[in-house]
Amino acid sequence: MLIGKYGLQFTIIIIVAIALSLVLLGLFIYGTYQGNALISMVPQCQTLTASQLSTRTPIKHVIIIFLENHSFDNIFGVYPTNGTLNGSLIVQFTIPNNLLTMSEIPSYLEPVPIGIYYTKNPNEGYIPYHADWDYGKMDGWVRGSGPQSLYYYTVDQVAPIWDLAEEYGLADNYFTPYLSESAPNHLFLYAAYAPVIDDYGPPPYIPVQESIFAELCQYHVSWGYYIDPREPPSLLDIKYFYGINRYSSHVQTWSDFISEVMNGSLPAVSWVMPNPINDMGPPNNMLYGEAWLLYIINTVEESPIWNSTVIFITWDEFGGYYDHVPPPIINGEPLGVRVPLIVISPYAKEDYVSHTLLTHASLIAFIDYNWELPALNEYVLKSNIPLDFFYFNMSRGPIVFSQGFPLIDNIYSLPNVSNYRDLSSLFPLTLQISLNELPYSRYGLSNITLAELGSQVYVSGNSAYVPVIYTPLFLWLIIALIIDLTAVSLLPMGRKAPRSVPVKVLSVISGSVVTASIIGLITLTTGLLNYLGNTGEAPPLLLGYLIGLILFSIIGLVLMRIRHGLHTLIILSIIIPVLLYVLIYVQAIQSYLMSDKPLLIYGLLSTAPIMLITLLMLRAYVSNNTWARGLGYVVSVGLLSYIVMLMIAFTYIRLYQPGLSTLLLPTELIGLLLTITWFVMQIGGIRRGVGHEL
């Protein structure tokens, strides 16, 4: 018998394979139980109407509109004078901390030309954004987000937004929570926490019970999340909340929002999300976003809920656009670059500029404050509440923004922008109250927090959730099972491996799929993926993969053919990825990654395990053949591995950068099936005495 002939070693391989299979099965069962248990802990949602709920202020409706990718200086850099306007009203407006308050506007900044309502999209991502920031010097824009980041809008493009700031309140000290792209900043709007630092995922998820959605449900506060129904679910930021499907009835359409506003049935808290065309994010036409925004504001102001409403308008992150104010350092990490916050309400102070330090979590703090809820978490507990915007002793009537702008007749329409050269004539609007009659200062700040008010905390500790089958542990166990099965090639019987063409082809294909899986898993495990939200950062990494696959294929070939080389090959295949992990860890704790140049080296080092896989699956065809033929085998595995990795990368991009583990798991399972087939053919061929060589 085969086992009897090769003794204990083969028996150990089989026992280890069975043990690993049982562990994987056990983890799968546990993961299913864990996921179901999390879902079962999601609070039920039986809410009261806005009018039935008691509040600390006259505000019964909070509406949050979340736009995309503009810094404060990009929109309000030369507000309100535009650098040259000197009208009797304009010169009285409160000037925020912007380009006009600098000794002079830097010469490298340029206004967007009149008649142009968009710019080229700045480079985005953790890496270029940290290069922009440059440890607070704010001087790395050209090498970071690029020359296109140095443009700013003027009254000619954003007069309607300036009108809103003039009539209501504007924050000039509002920072995004993360110096990175959209995903972590979006998550802070709902959870004041993010398990990611760039645009990737899920997984990881946030359990929905740790979000403001669940807290509102727990305390019976009604809420709604309003989207364009044409939007793909993969673009919705609520996809990061595990269990959000329990609240699917709260995810509604723009049409529902408009209808509920007009009939007075709007929930207490509403999030209104734009689509990728009208979100104002570059390179989109700003007029599309302004028209959509004004349609919503006009609808609210003309509705029965106006007298009890506040609209918070902000941007998710700065999009790579220049801003001159260094973000504060909180808990050793910089906040993201400033973005505008506009506060619209009948109780909002006119021409008010708030200097209060605020972030997206401050909007959650206002919700918790207004409905007398516990602070969602510790971050919200310590966040300033945007209360200084309000003067609750007086209510103002609505302002309808209608004249001279390409308004739309329904929320799904796009404006006709062909006849608009500039919008400068729309600013300023006539004020409702003369500035010298206002009973309050037109600037100020407030440091009131829920902590100072003695609030409790709803979520004592935030956690990221990754389903067990997508954890690195589960994925590495599959790789361990594959390596265990292929270890049969290291036994004496491995020298008698079948040498037919189908077996050789299967060896190359299996080796390629497994190699690609391991490299992807190294990328995931080392944390390298954390810095790769922007697909523009992928080329140096992919180039590093290609160079490394070819280089280590050749090194592996040499080591397989020299005396005592096998031990060196195995050690290098393990040690080099460990070294990579150490390099990235040191990078993370000692400095910030501000250039994509290291990505080439990181990618190259990730490919070292190809030596081990070619040893395990192709040793019989590489060691005992000519150098040329051996080189052909190993390079074939390397190039085919690269093709598999490109397929994973393109799928990753096409699916809007989900958690990489969701793509690695099916790839590994394919590799496992191929390996099992290879194993059976190897054993079967040996037993039949197949051993002729082509």
537 vs 270, which has greater pLDDT? 270
Lowest mean pLDDT among 47-51, 306-310, 372-376, 522-526: 522-526
pLDDT in tens, 57-82: 999 999 999 999 999 999 999 999 99
Q: Which amino acid is at 624?
A: N
Across the chain, mean pLDDT equals 92
Q: What is the 3-state secondary structure (H, E, C) of 154-213?
A: CHHHHHHHHHHHHHCEEECCEECCCCCCHHHHHHHHHHCCCCCCCCCCCCCEEEHHHCHH
pLDDT of 419 over the 70 cut:
yes
pLDDT band for 157, please (50, 70, 90 cuts).
very high
pLDDT of 132 over the 90 cut:
yes
pLDDT of residue 25: 98
Sign (positive or negative) of CA dihedral 191, 196, 198, 199 = negative
pLDDT in tens, 480-533: 999 999 998 877 655 556 667 888 899 999 999 999 999 999 999 988 777 765
pLDDT of residue 689: 53
Polymer length in residues for the chain: 694
* Per-domain boundaries in the chain: 41-444, 469-688
* Contact between 682 and 489 (Cβ < 8 Å): yes
pLDDT of residue 496: 59
- In this structure, the number of other CB atoms found within 10 A of the CB of residue 108 comes to 11
What count of Cα atoms within 13 Å lies in the side-chain half-sphere of residue 467?
21
Lowest mean pLDDT among 139-143, 286-290, 532-536, 557-561: 532-536
pLDDT band for 535, please (50, 70, 90 cuts).
low
SS3 for 5? Answer: helix
The rounded distance, in Å, linking the Cα atoms of 387 and 229 is 34
DSSP letter (8 states) at residue 578 = H
pLDDT band for 182, please (50, 70, 90 cuts).
very high
pLDDT in tens, 185-243: 999 999 999 999 999 999 999 999 999 999 999 999 999 999 999 998 888 999 999 99
pLDDT of residue 302: 95
* Contact between 54 and 267 (Cβ < 8 Å): no
- Characterise 471 by phi-psi region: left (phi > 0), alpha (psi -120 to 50), beta (else): beta
Name residue, tokens 């808990």.
Answer: 331
pLDDT of residue 306: 98
pLDDT of 694 over the 60 cut:
no
| Short-list 613, 606, 610, CA closest to 660 | 606
Q: Provide the percentage of residues in the chain whose pLDDT is more than 90.
A: 78
pLDDT of residue 626: 81
Q: Average pLDDT in the 320-331 region?
A: 96
What count of Cα atoms within 13 Å lies in the side-chain half-sphere of residue 691?
10
pLDDT of residue 438: 96
Locate 39 and state its tokens: 């879902």
Is the domain spanning 41-444 CATH 3.40.720.10? The answer is: yes
321 vs 421, which has greater pLDDT? 321
pLDDT of residue 534: 59
* Contact between 125 and 538 (Cβ < 8 Å): no
What count of Cα atoms within 13 Å lies in the side-chain half-sphere of residue 391?
18
What count of Cα atoms within 13 Å lies in the side-chain half-sphere of residue 620?
26
Q: Provide the total of helices (H) and of strands (E) in the chain, helices listed first.
A: 18, 15
C-alpha distances (whole Å) from 655 to each of 175, 200, 283, 566, 689 are: 29, 10, 21, 40, 48
The rounded distance, in Å, linking the Cα atoms of 95 and 350 is 13
Lowest mean pLDDT among 87-91, 239-243, 436-440, 505-509: 87-91
| Short-list 464, 479, 506, CA closest to 665 | 479
pLDDT band for 693, please (50, 70, 90 cuts).
very low
pLDDT of 137 over the 80 cut:
yes
SS3 for 635? Answer: helix
The rounded distance, in Å, linking the Cα atoms of 322 and 75 is 10
Sign (positive or negative) of CA dihedral 192, 196, 202, 203 = negative
The rounded distance, in Å, linking the Cα atoms of 153 and 161 is 11
pLDDT of 590 over the 80 cut:
no
| Short-list 43, 576, 128, 470, CA closest to 317 | 128
Q: Average pLDDT in the 382-396 region?
A: 97
657 vs 312, which has greater pLDDT? 312
pLDDT in tens, 237-271: 999 999 999 999 999 999 999 999 999 999 999 99
pLDDT of 649 over the 70 cut:
yes
pLDDT band for 279, please (50, 70, 90 cuts).
very high
The rounded distance, in Å, linking the Cα atoms of 47 and 474 is 40
pLDDT of 404 over the 90 cut:
no
Q: Average pLDDT in the 2-9 region?
A: 62
Q: Average pLDDT in the 167-178 region?
A: 98
The rounded distance, in Å, linking the Cα atoms of 638 and 11 is 31
DSSP assignments along 448-485, one per residue: -BTTTTT--BS-SS---B--GGGSHHHHHHHHHHHHHH
What count of Cα atoms within 13 Å lies in the side-chain half-sphere of residue 483?
18
SS3 for 428? Answer: coil
How do 110-111 and 333-334 pair as beta strands?
unpaired
pLDDT of 688 over the 70 cut:
no
Q: Average pLDDT in the 597-612 region?
A: 92
The rounded distance, in Å, linking the Cα atoms of 626 and 619 is 13
Query: Where does 70-181 show beta strands of DSSP type E?
Result: 110-111, 151-152, 169-171
Lowest mean pLDDT among 405-409, 477-481, 575-579: 405-409
pLDDT of residue 581: 87
Burial of 460 (0-12, 13-18, 19+ CB in 10 A): exposed
* Contact between 291 and 408 (Cβ < 8 Å): yes
Render the burial of 209-237: b for 16+ CB within 10 Å, e for the rest: bbbbbbbbbebbbbbbbbbbeeeeeeeeb
pLDDT of residue 495: 57
557 vs 691, which has greater pLDDT? 557
C-alpha distances (whole Å) from 338 to each of 123, 142, 391 are: 17, 18, 25
pLDDT of residue 69: 97
Sign (positive or negative) of CA dihedral 224, 229, 232, 235 = negative
pLDDT of 114 over the 60 cut:
yes
